[in-house]
Structure 1
Amino acid sequence: MKIVDVCAFYSPRGGGVKTYVGQKLAIAERMEQDITILAPGDDDAVVEFGPCARIQTIASPRFPLDRKYWYFNDERSLHAALDTLAPDFVEASSPWRSPLMVANWRSATPKSLVMHADPLSAYAYRWLEPLVSREMIDRRFVRYWDHLRQLGQLYDAVVCASDDLASRMKAGRVGNVVTVPMGVEAQRFSAGKRNENLRSSLLAQCGLGPDATLLVAAGRLAPEKRVPMLVEAVTIAGRHRQQGLAIFGEGRDDTNILRSIGGNPHIRLFHPERDRERFASVLASADAFVHGCEAETFCMTAAEASASGIPVIVPDRGGAADFAREGRGLSYRAADLEDLVRVILTLPNGFAARSPSCKTRAMDDHFAALFAIYQNLTSGELSRAA
C-alpha cells in the first residue's frame, strides 16, 4: 500500500512528531508499506530513507511563533504533490488548516486524520479553565467544534492515540473516531538500561549526592508543557527532601524556563539527548519521570519512562494520564502546583530500583493496527461510523 502522510507538524529539529515519523519510516518498510512524509520546509526536496520510505518537503513559510516549524500555505502545490505521488491512502496529521486542503484534493482516495495535537487542551482550556467551566469554553469555541465535526465527515477515520482524547471527540459528536494507542521502540527502553554511574553524574551536575532523588523531564519546551510549574514544584519539594531535576529539551519557552530555575543549583536544563540509546539509559537511571502537560494526545516520553521501569508523575487529564493507571505511576490534579508537590513528596526513595519495566505497547503494534485500518478502508471493508 502506498501511503502519504501530509505532516504539518514535522520538524527535523526534534519533538514527539519527529520521533514518531522516524519510527514510522523504519517500521513501514519492514511491513512492506511504501510511505512518504509530505511536510512543509524551506525548499522543495526529497530525502530518501530507503527504497520505500522518504520525506518530501514543499517550500513553505516558517511558522512565526516557533521558527523551527513551517506551515502549508499553497493548496495548489500540495495537490500537485499528491497528484504526482498518487497514493492509495492519505493521512493528514494536523487539526488546523491543512486537513481541509487535503480534503479539497479531487480524489476518491480514502483519508484519515491523525490527531497529533489537541488545541482545545493546549490553548483554550489551559488559558480559560481557571476562570470558567470547560462546558462554557466548549460553547464559546463552537466554531472549532464545528470544524472538527466537519473533518469527521470528510475523513474516513479520525485517529486518536489515547482514550481521553477519543472520548472527548466522540462526546463532541465528531464522527469516525478510532483509538489506536501508540507505543515505544521495541527493545529500546527497559529497567535493564539503568546505570548508577550515570545517575550519580546527573545528580552531581545538579549539585547533589547519590542519596538525593533524581527526577527527569523531557520534551519540547513550549508553554503548554508547564515546565516552570515542574521547576517550582521540585524547588518546593526540595525544601523537605533533596531533589534534583534534569530537564532535557529545547523550544521557544527555554528563556522562561531558565528564568524560573533562577539560582536553584539542583535543577538543570540540558540540550535534548539525541542518542536514543543514551536517552534510554537516562530514563532508566532516574528515580521518576515528571510531566506537566495535560494536553498530550499520547505522551511518548511518559510511555518510554514507564517502559524503563521508573514511576511517572503525570497530570490526571490528557494522554499522559494513561501511564499512571494500574499502579504504573502517580497522578496529580492537572495544573495544580500544590498537588504536584504533594505527589512528588510521596515518592519513596529508591522506588525505581524496585520497579520492574512496565509492559508498554510496542510501536510495531501501533503501526500494524493503523495499517490494517488503512488496508480495510482502501478495500472498502471498514464501514464509516455514524
Structure 2
Amino acid sequence: MNIVDVSGFYSDTGGGVRSYARQKLAAAARHGHRLTIVAPGARTWTEPRSGGKIAWVASPPMPFDPAYRMFASARAVWRVLDAEAPDVVEGSSPWRGGWIAGHWPGMALKALVFHQDFVAGYAHTALGGLLGPPAVDRLSGAYWAYLRRLSRRFDVTVAGSGWLAGRLEGFGVYRPVAAPFGVEAGRFSPARRDEALRRDLLARCGASPDGRLVLAVGRLHPEKRHRTIIEGFARARTLRPDLGLVVIGDGLVRTSVERAARRAGRVHVAGRIDDRDLLARCYASADILAHGSAAETFGLVVAEAIASGLPVVVPGAGGAADLAARGPSRLYP
C-alpha cells in the first residue's frame, strides 16, 4: 500500500509527532508498505528513510516558534501527492496541512488524523481557569464549525484515544474513530534501570544519591504546564526534602521554565534527549513521572513511563488520564 501523510507539524526537533512519524516509517518497512511523510522544511528535497521517505516542501517558519514551519503553497504539496498517486492520504493536522490534504482533488482514501485538540491544549490552558472549560468550548464555536466542514472532506477522522474520539463526536466532527497509539516494545522497560545514571541525574539536581528522582518529559510549550509541575514539586519538597526533579525537553518557553527551576531549587533542565535508549534508561531510573498536560491526544510520554515501571501523576483529563487509569497513578483536577 502506498500511503502519504501530509504532516504539517513534523519537525526533526519535534516531540510526539516526530516519534509517531518515525515509528510509522519503521512499521511501513516491516509490513511492506511505502510511506511518504510530506513535511514543511527549509528547502524542497527528498530524504530517503527506511520504509519510505520524507518529502520536504520549502515553507516559511512559524512566527512564534521557528522550530516548526507552515506550508505556504498548497500546489507544492499537491504536486507531491500527484507524483505519488497514493492509495491513502492522511492529513495529520486540522490546520493548513489538513486543509491541503482534504482539498487535494486526487482519488484516494482520506483520513484526518488528530495529534492534538487545540481548544483543550491552548484555549483551556489560557482561559479555562478563569472561565471554565465548558465556557471556553462554547466560545470556540467557529473552530468546531470549521472542523465539521473540514472533516466532511475525509472518509474518516482518526483520534489517538477514546477520550478525544468522544470529544470530537460530541462536537459533530465526521466519523471519529479511536486508534490508540503505543510504545516501542522492549525499549521501555523497568529492566533499563541504570543506577549510575540515576546517581548522576540526582547530582545534577543537587539531591543526595539516595534521594527520590522525579521526571518530567515533553516539549517546553505552554500547554505542557511545566511551571505547574515545578510549583507542585516545590510544595512536595516541603514534605520530602530528598526530592530532585529532572525536566527533559526543549521548546518555546524554555527560558521561563529555567527561571522557575532556579526559583524552586533542586530542579535540573536537561534539554531534549534524542537518544531513545538513553531516554528509556532515564525513565527506568526515576521514581515517578509528573506530567502537566490535560489535553494529550494519547499521552506518549505517559505510556513510555508506565511501560518503564513508573507511577505517574497526571491531570484528571485527556489521553494522559485514560492511560494513567490502567497503572499506578494519581490524577489531579
Q: What's the TM-score bracket when you normalise by the shorter of the two chains?
A: over 0.9
Post-superposition offset of 1:208:
1.3
Structure 2 partner of 1:166:
165
Structure 2 partner of 1:16:
16
| 1:192-247 residue CA offsets vs partner (Å, 9 max, x unmatched) | 11122221221111111133211001111101110011111111111111210001
| Separation in 2, partners of 1:115, 1:327 | 25
Structure 2 partner of 1:75:
74
Q: Which runs of 5+ in 1 are unaligned?
A: 334-386
Q: Which runs of 5+ in 2 are unaligned?
A: none
Structure 1 partner of 2:266:
266
Post-superposition offset of 1:264:
4.0
| 1:162-311 alignment runs, 5 A limit | 162-241=161-240, 242-311=242-311
Structure 2 partner of 1:320:
320
Q: In the comparison of the two structures, how many residue pairs are matched?
A: 332
Post-superposition offset of 1:331:
1.0
What SS does structure 2 have at the residue aligned with 1:70? coil
Percent of matched pairs sharing the same residue: 42
Post-superposition offset of 1:104:
1.5
| Separation in 1, partners of 2:143, 2:188 | 38
What SS does structure 2 have at the residue aligned with 1:238? helix
Sort the Cα spacing of 1:291 and 1:109 in 2 relative to 1 into closer, same or farther, 3 A: same
Asked whether the equivalents of residues 155 and 176 of structure 1 are also in contact (C-alpha less than 8 Å), the reply is: no
Deviates more, 1:165-174 or 1:127-136: 127-136
Post-superposition offset of 1:115:
0.2
| Separation in 2, partners of 1:264, 1:285 | 22
Structure 1 partner of 2:25:
25
1:287 is matched by which residue type in structure 2? D
| Separation in 2, partners of 1:295, 1:327 | 19
Deviates more, 1:151-160 or 1:175-184: 151-160
1:173 is matched by which residue type in structure 2? G
Post-superposition offset of 1:47:
0.7
2:274 is matched by which residue type in structure 1? R
| 1:124-179 residue CA offsets vs partner (Å, 9 max, x unmatched) | 22222222243332222111111111122111111111111111111111121010
Structure 1 partner of 2:99:
100
Sort the Cα spacing of 1:315 and 1:82 in 2 relative to 1 into closer, same or farther, 3 A: same
Asked whether the equivalents of residues 6 and 91 of structure 2 are also in contact (C-alpha less than 8 Å), the reply is: yes
| 1:60-87 residue CA offsets vs partner (Å, 9 max, x unmatched) | 1001111010011111111111111111
Structure 1 partner of 2:43:
43
| Separation in 1, partners of 2:155, 2:24 | 21
Asked whether the equivalents of residues 152 and 177 of structure 1 are also in contact (C-alpha less than 8 Å), the reply is: no
| Separation in 1, partners of 2:158, 2:328 | 25
Post-superposition offset of 1:279:
1.0
Report the TM-score when normalising by structure 2. Answer: 0.97
| 1:11-30 residue CA offsets vs partner (Å, 9 max, x unmatched) | 11131111111111111111
With CA pairs under 8 Å and 6+ residues apart, which has the higher RCO, 1 or 2? 1
Report the TM-score when normalising by structure 1. Answer: 0.84
Asked whether the equivalents of residues 8 and 96 of structure 2 are also in contact (C-alpha less than 8 Å), the reply is: no
| Separation in 2, partners of 1:236, 1:246 | 16
| 1:292-371 alignment runs, 5 A limit | 292-333=292-333
Structure 2 partner of 1:86:
85
